[in-house]
């Protein structure tokens, strides 16, 4: 006899159009392709979403294959705790881990934050991303977003001092953080950081390639530097000490909420500031990240704001203020 409450896993790829063009140092795109994992047990369903990232050798096809390979173990009773050892950190594990959290919350009739031993989440101010472009185009985009208190400026190409100066002139009151996406080099690092300091930038994210960031150890810098591509999970944190002041925690890198919460606690123990970051994705990706963001110094969960449309009943954004998800949506 089949157990009606046995776990079942369904996986699908979805495409969500981006509003305009999203450009960083590695290229541009007009749509976000996400992979959704849905766990079912009886009449209850839990969902998780991830964004495969070519930077880490991931594709929608490879992530779907990795998840579908877990279907048998899921049906045999795989737990969220088992999952941490069965799959490596990355996008695929993230989708399934978050689906486990969502399903567990629905099965328990209690919110995910409570299951995680956390206080109730509250609304947070998220950064809003300004894509890489000419100084004039970026200044215009920043001016259009001038009502937002925190802007994340994408840099990582020749001429960045002119870009950040133009943005600052366009939005003299906004707090600015910069993301170079590994686009700077040791020979222009000091000049670019000096330009950021002159513009009153609060934080610079991943200025150098992850395999060439030792130059940060001897750099006397006026702006704190945050690791993104150089940091993935708890095991990667120790190598950041002496090079970085902060770490960007993204669930697609950590492999889910479980590791992300542990990573945030360990980063703070090591004296690193934390940022809760995201890929361009829907509210289903942002919802679990809201729990990590509660203790973060910087919140960058603007993915749905960059889309032409979001999921029905997704997170509520009031300007740059993002509210926690409704329990019926996730967790």
From residue 291, how far is each of 54, 129, 155 by CA, in Å? Answer: 26, 21, 28
Burial classification of residue 219, based on how many CB atoms lie within 10 Å of its CB (0-12 exposed, 13-18 middle, 19 or more buried) = middle
**Active-site residue flag, 154:** yes
Among candidate residues 239, 246, 249, the one with its CA nearest the CA of residue 278: 249
CB 304 within 8 A of CB 320: no
What is the layout of strands, in order, in the sheet containing 7-24?
Answer: 7-24, 27-41, 44-50
Q: How many CA atoms lie within 13 A of 162 on its CB side?
A: 8
Distance CA(98)–CA(101), nearest Å, equals 5
Q: Determine contact, residues 170/143, Cβ cutoff 8 Å.
A: yes
Considering the candidates 106, 152, 154, 253, report the single residue annotated as catalytic: 154
127-159 residues labelled b (16+ CB within 10 A) or e (exposed) = bbbbbbbebeebbbbbeebeebbbbbbbbbbee
Rounded CA separation 96/303 (Å): 20
Selecting among 106, 152, 250, 253, the annotated active-site residue is 250
* Closest by CA position to 312, among listed 16, 52, 74, 99: 16
**What is the CA 284 to chain-centroid distance, rounded?**
12
Residue 112 CB burial class (10 angstroms; 0-12, 13-18, ≥19): buried
Q: Is 106 noted as a catalytic residue in this protein?
A: no
Distance (Å, whole) CA 250 – CA 94: 10
Q: Where are the alpha helices (DSSP H) in the chain?
A: 60-68, 71-75, 80-86, 91-108, 112-115, 135-144, 160-170, 186-198, 251-254, 257-269, 283-293
Q: Is 248 helix (H, G, I), strand (E, B) or coil?
A: strand
Catalytic residue numbers, as ranges: 154, 250
């Amino acid at each position: 006899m089949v157990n009606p409450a046995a776990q079942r896993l369904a996986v699908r790829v979805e495409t969500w159009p981006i509003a305009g063009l999203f450009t960083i140092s590695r290229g541009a795109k007009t749509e976000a392709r996400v992979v959704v994992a849905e766990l079912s047990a009886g009449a209850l369903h839990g969902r998780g979403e991830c964004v495969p990232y070519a930077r880490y050798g991931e594709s929608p096809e490879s992530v779907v294959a990795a998840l579908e390979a877990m279907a048998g173990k899921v049906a045999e009773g795989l737990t969220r705790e088992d999952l941490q050892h069965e799959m490596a950190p990355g996008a695929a594990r993230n989708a399934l881990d978050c689906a486990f959290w969502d399903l567990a919350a629905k099965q328990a009739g209690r919110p995910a934050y409570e299951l995680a031993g956390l206080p109730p989440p509250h609304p947070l101010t998220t950064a809003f991303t300004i894509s890489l472009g000419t100084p004039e185009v970026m200044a215009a985009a920043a001016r259009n977003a001038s009502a937002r208190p925190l802007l994340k400026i994408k840099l990582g190409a020749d001429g960045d001092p002119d870009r950040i100066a133009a943005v600052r002139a366009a939005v003299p009151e906004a707090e600015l953080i910069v993301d170079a996406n590994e686009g700077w080099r040791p020979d222009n690092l000091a000049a670019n950081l000096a330009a950021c300091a002159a513009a009153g930038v609060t934080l610079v994210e991943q200025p150098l390639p992850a395999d060439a960031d030792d130059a940060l150890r001897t750099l006397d810098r006026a702006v704190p530097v945050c690791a993104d591509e150089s940091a993935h999970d708890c095991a990667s944190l120790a190598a950041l000490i002496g090079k970085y002041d902060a770490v960007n925690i993204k669930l697609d890198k950590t492999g889910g909420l479980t590791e992300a919460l542990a990573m945030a606690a360990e980063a703070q123990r090591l004296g690193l500031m934390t940022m809760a970051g995201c890929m361009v994705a829907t509210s289903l990706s942002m919802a679990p990240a809201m729990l990590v963001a509660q203790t973060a110094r910087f919140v960058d969960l603007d993915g749905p704001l960059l889309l032409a449309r979001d999921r029905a009943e997704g997170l509520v954004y009031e300007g740059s203020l993002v509210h926690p998800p409704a329990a019926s949506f996730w967790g």
